[in-house]
Amino acid sequence: MEREMVVVLDFGGQYNQLVARRVRECNVYCEIYSYKTPIDQIKAMNPKGIILTGGPNSCYEEGAPSYTKELFELGIPILGLCYGAQLMMHVLGGKVEKAPVREYGKTNTFIDGSKDAIFASIPDETIVWMSHFDYISKVAPGFEIVAHTADCPVAAAACEEKKLYAIQFHPEVLHTVKGKEILHNFVRGICQTEGTWRMDSFVENTVKEIREKVGDGKVLLALSGGVDSSVLAALLAKAIGKQLTCVFVDHGLLRKNEGDEVEGVFGPGGNFDINFIRVNAAERYYAKLKGVEEPERKRKIIGEEFIRVFEEEAKKIGTVDFLAQGTIYPDVVESGLGGESVVIKSHHNVGGLPDYVDFKEIIEPLRSLFKDEVRKVGLELGLPEYLVFRQPFPGPGLGIRIIGEVNAEKVRIVQDADYIYRTELAEAHKEGKMKKLPDQYFAALSNMRSVGVMGDERTYDYAVVLRAVETIDFMTAEATEIPFEVLQRVMSRIINEVKGVNRVMYDLTSKPPGTVELE
């Protein structure tokens, strides 16, 4: 049976992945493509629906991202969001102008149209998230205004006959109270999808695909011990068992005790019947990173040294048929391959075929999944919860949680501080002082040193920065409100127990404008 699919056309919006994620929550498969994707390619995908994302441009300016009018004549339901809504109006004969009043943030919106399509079951008045300089001053022929705000006469417009919908606000963000329902109305109702995209079927189908592709060949995987590579290892183990060899390069930049934990799960006597090789390479990494402070340079050194170590081990193994990578969908998009987003994460190894390993082909079974979907696959495969819900950890490890030069002393400081922080938050949750744990929380080491007093002596030591965020998909995040008494205890323990630290700070920055990591 052909898989149902909704296509998201990216016009440079910051929430493009969030749109796709919301579609997946409707149990419908979704992929992101650039607005430059040819119309014939879109038609060949036979999508059940198309969503046009937001973007930073004005659609009426010369050179602004656009699309041919033919897109709206395919007979496929189309939903335009923010810039996508304005573009739809502009292309089809409406008018878009600079707004006399810019709308940004939570806004009361009033539903004017019928309640049997895009706004089915939505209250007459609801709160949405607006973010626009321009506005639709005149709707295109055939469209009806179906929602407005105090400052925006066209908050939404619809052409029910052609199943075309233009929404000025962002239903994909959580700040839009009924956003999920609006997208569900479009994806499941208007697009008439059945919603068959689920993780149990993904595991069954992917295991079958891996077996057919690999045959009796050998597969090599670089296992980091993070969620993505661990789930991939379990998936490959289920499919091909001993045909899989996992190489775990311990670069000395992992969290405290993590190297031993990884070996305990995947090594001899662990949960899986695979070939496991651990390489302890900390001193090599520290030597390469000596004197290097610039974050991007550190990333490249860590990546390059991994290649060197991995290459050495691969040569010992000999020829393999496939190289497996734990690439997931945000990696694809954030590396500039899935849409119009700028390259955010340069350490992702996406799409390239390394020339340092003798193999036939690369396989990336998780390439189509978001992080929470990867976790569902892990549970489906029977991985323990503590591994499946391990906090996301960047490829360069503590190398990007240490601001400035990386060395053994700084690694020790951040490992110990991070261990105390995570332990205390877990204890606070257990004692009921916190209703839930943050989605990600860690300690980082700033490059700031300051004078302090400990006992009767002056100190000149480092400042540790604590980070904790609430998020669903890591596309957006808010700082967690941790009880002050818990933060006080964490601070006291770190300063008293971690040599080299005399100051502890808490980072309140949201994403955007910041990122989850501090670098």
> 364 — alpha (psi -120 to 50), left (phi > 0) or beta?
beta
Q: Kindly write down the DSSP assignment for every residue of 324-344, as one continuous string.
A: E----HHHHHHTTSSSS----
Distance of alpha carbon 313 from alpha carbon 12, whole angstroms: 41
Distance of alpha carbon 222 from alpha carbon 211, whole angstroms: 19
Report whether 227 contacts 195 (CB < 8 A): no
Amino acid at 276: F
- Which long-range contacts link 268-275 to residues 24+ away (Cβ below 8 Å)? 271/383, 271/384, 272/233, 272/234, 272/237, 273/237, 273/241, 273/242, 274/233, 274/236, 274/237, 274/241, 274/242, 274/244, 274/245, 274/246, 275/242, 275/244, 275/245, 275/246
Number of residues assigned to the chain: 519
**Structure tokens given for 160:** 């029910």
- As annotated, the active-site residues are 82, 170, 172
**Residue in the structure block whose two tokens are 């499946």:** 388
**Structure tokens given for 372:** 């929470």
Amino acid at 492: S
416 three-class SS: helix
Distance of alpha carbon 477 from alpha carbon 466, whole angstroms: 15
CA 72 to chain CA centroid, nearest Å: 30
Residues 6 or more apart whose CB falls under 8 angstroms from that of 207 comprise 235, 238, 239
- Pair type for strands 5-10 and 49-52: parallel
Dump strand ranges (E) for 405-454.
Answer: 440-454
CA angle (480 as vertex; 474, 486 as ends), nearest 5: 140
Among the listed residues 327, 346, 337, 340, the one whose alpha carbon sits nearest the alpha carbon of residue 16? 340
How much helix, strand and coil, in percent to the nearest 5, is found in the chain? 35, 25, 40
**Structure tokens given for 360:** 């036939």
